[in-house]
Structure 1
Amino acid sequence: MAAFGTQFMPNMAMATYTNNTWSKPEIVSSSSIALHPGAHVLHYASTCFEGLKAFKHDDGSVYVFRMDRNIARMQQSSDLLHLPPFPADLLENMILSSLANVIDEIPQPPSSMYIRPTHVGTEAAIGKAASPSTSSMLYVLLSQVGAYFTGGDVALRLLIEEDTMRCAAHMGMVKSGGNYASAMGPILRAKEKYQADQVLFCPQGDVQETGAANFILIDGNEVITKSLDSSFLHGVTRDSILTIARDMGMDVQERSLSVEELLERVSHPGCEAALSGTAAVLAPVGTLIHNGKEHVIGSGQPGPTTLKLRETLNEIQWGKQEDKHGWLRKV
């Protein structure tokens, strides 16, 4: 299978907002979109997106994982970016109709159909740097995907960055392209200087998130991650993993975690760390780099609790374990 997120279905669902009204969604070619060169999104970054997956079960049925949470988060992002609001059922119907059109092309696990709803401001007005776009475009891209990390389970290397944030604090809970762009410089420098896979942003010593995923520490029966606030993304996979950990009887703590405590805990035998996100699900972390020193987490290899949490989530998504939280929606 092609590199993650590079193989798209030929068609997508699209709706537009003009004159205070949403159009009826259409299935159109996904090869291109038409935007005026002065479109608000191109100049003032009025754009947000989501990432979720659809899975094919053994009986051939297809289910979308936690679509309601992703739609609600995209509505929140649109509101915080002052994009035109859209009703939840509009995007829900666009996602389901898009999947229904390619139902036979949704691959078997561990592959899946990645779903990328996108909302952009389209008003042609380069004088509106301090005003929102009055028109917008909402579309749903589909992409067949395999495993995010093609090399298998290799524990990641993270550089601890205490001087900068991933993005502006008031924009952290918005899933917007600009947030990823602002993190790219520190990530590229970390890769070049330390051969790090990602940067763990810890402004003023407060452990937050990496450039594209939430951070979770596992120490014995304790699962520790930063409590939700506006400074970082409220991950749907994060919430799912924490729910599963609670189901397993683990002590889940959503609270502040300092770099000092983090480095002290990773020296404990059996300690683990992981990154959670839709694409990677739960990726093990083996090394933290801080002030030029490398701190190996536990054995430095993928930990058993990390793998068990990921396996449990995957098996729910794949229909091999009971979906007792009502996370799956049939297409």
Structure 2
Amino acid sequence: MTDTLKVTKIAETKINQVDFSNLAFGTVFTDHMFVCEYKNGKWQTPEILPYGPLQMDPSAKVFHYGQAVFEGMKAYKDDNGDIFMFRPEENFNRINKSGERLAMPAFDKEYFFDGLNTLLNLDKDWIKSGEGNSLYIRPFVIATENGVSASPSSEYKFVIICAPAQAYYSGQVKVLFADHYSRSADGGVGYAKAAGNYAAQFYPTELAKEKGYNQVVWTDANTHEYLEEAGTMNVFFRVNDTLITAPTSDRILDGITRKSLIELAKSQGINVEVRPVKVAEIVEAAENGSLKEMFGAGTAAVISPISGFTHKEKAFDLPLVEDAYATKLKKQLTELQANRAEDPFGWRYEVPAIEV
């Protein structure tokens, strides 16, 4: 811990009020949070405080112009009580990349890791060991300058909050291929984890849910001929024994789970193709039986298998395959993340033990 990080501990923990066997994802939060203010052209002294409400003026620019970016990360505890994160530097780089697109200042790397390490040590009892257990970590940055002039904020707040999480099971997921609404467009902010990207998805997703679907698989905004993302996740297709996913672009999020799965699959001898994926190609593969699997990939669920899809009123069910790549890759990746398997890639980050 650096000398510049101020820590105010909570008077009494609330952990004993939590039923860890029955957690709704992202609704229960740990005792502390990390907060750092940006004022007068620089980031101020970061603090760790008891988790609680933020007081903001109604004219704060985040409410009016949407300058808000975030990340999703996880921490794991192994059977020895050691704590690990998965590729956290990728999250640090991406939140700054997202912030740059929204004219927000880059955050300091030392503050980020010092804050995370200290926060995880303070709230380490909230991280449960065992298969499926983790601590979801949500860093976010919001514009806090008062005033409704349409211009970038001169003040910001960087916050990290944490929520204990269990294994995420999505059940049978049916999706609808988009042919009208779009998630993002060329030259836009689709590659950034900007809050508004997700808000804009809610309405078309609700329309799909009214028809009995769980999610929308987004297509390109120009022609709706190419498949890009599944809900809030990157999407993979297994055609015969080849795993296919779309390349990243200014429309598609550079998912950390996505890039890890690509490397992991290649290391297992699976043929992986990163290229544009046509709707017509996947429909044809479903018709001739060569489409074996579809799945989403992201931090919260790691992998979420898709059991069927519909395109232009035509529905397709996917077969149940014994050697599912989704099952195999999810197990391998989660065991690596939680220090239950070797890490030949150097992805695992051990959180140093700190006396706080």
TM tier, smaller? over 0.9
Corresponding position of 1:167 = 184
Corresponding position of 2:79 = 58
Residue number among 236, 241, 246 corresponding to 1:216 in the alignment: 236
Shift of 1:168: 4.3
SS at match of 1:207: strand
Equivalent pairs counted in the alignment come to 324
Shift of 1:264: 1.4
Corresponding position of 1:263 = 283
Corresponding position of 2:312 = 291
Corresponding position of 2:118 = 97
Alignment check: 8 A CA contact 1:266 1:298 kept = no
- Cα distance between partner residues in 2 of 1:31 and 1:91: 20
Runs of 4 or more, structure 1, over 6 Å off, are none
Shift of 1:91: 1.3
Q: What letter matches 1:176 in structure 2? A: A
Residue number among 111, 122, 135 corresponding to 2:144 in the alignment: 122
The answer to whether residue 50 in structure 2 is matched with residue 32 in structure 1 is no
Residue deviations 1:223-278, cap 9 Å, x none?
10101111011110111111110101111111000100011123425611100000
Instruction: Name the TM-score, length of structure 1 as normaliser.
Output: 0.94
Alignment check: 8 A CA contact 2:285 2:291 kept = no
Alignment check: 8 A CA contact 2:127 2:164 kept = yes
Residue deviations 1:39-76, cap 9 Å, x none?
11111000000001000111110101110001100010
Corresponding position of 2:256 = 236
Q: What letter matches 2:106 in structure 1? A: P
Shift of 1:220: 3.0
SS at match of 1:246: helix
Residue deviations 1:58-109, cap 9 Å, x none?
1110101110001100010011111122122221211111101011221123
Alignment check: 8 A CA contact 1:317 1:328 kept = yes
Corresponding position of 1:21 = 42
Corresponding position of 1:202 = 219
Aligned-CA RMSD value: 1.5
Q: What letter matches 2:189 in structure 1? A: M
Q: What letter matches 2:286 in structure 1? A: V
Residue deviations 1:267-314, cap 9 Å, x none?
425611100000010011110111112111233x79621100100001
SS at match of 1:107: coil
What are structure 2's unaligned runs of at least 5 residues? Answer: 1-21, 352-356
What are structure 1's unaligned runs of at least 5 residues? Answer: none
| Cα 1:134/1:219, change in 2 over 3 Å | same
Corresponding position of 2:17 = none
- Cα distance between partner residues in 2 of 1:220 and 1:244: 18
Alignment check: 8 A CA contact 2:282 2:291 kept = no
Corresponding position of 1:305 = 325
Residue number among 176, 197, 210 corresponding to 1:192 in the alignment: 210
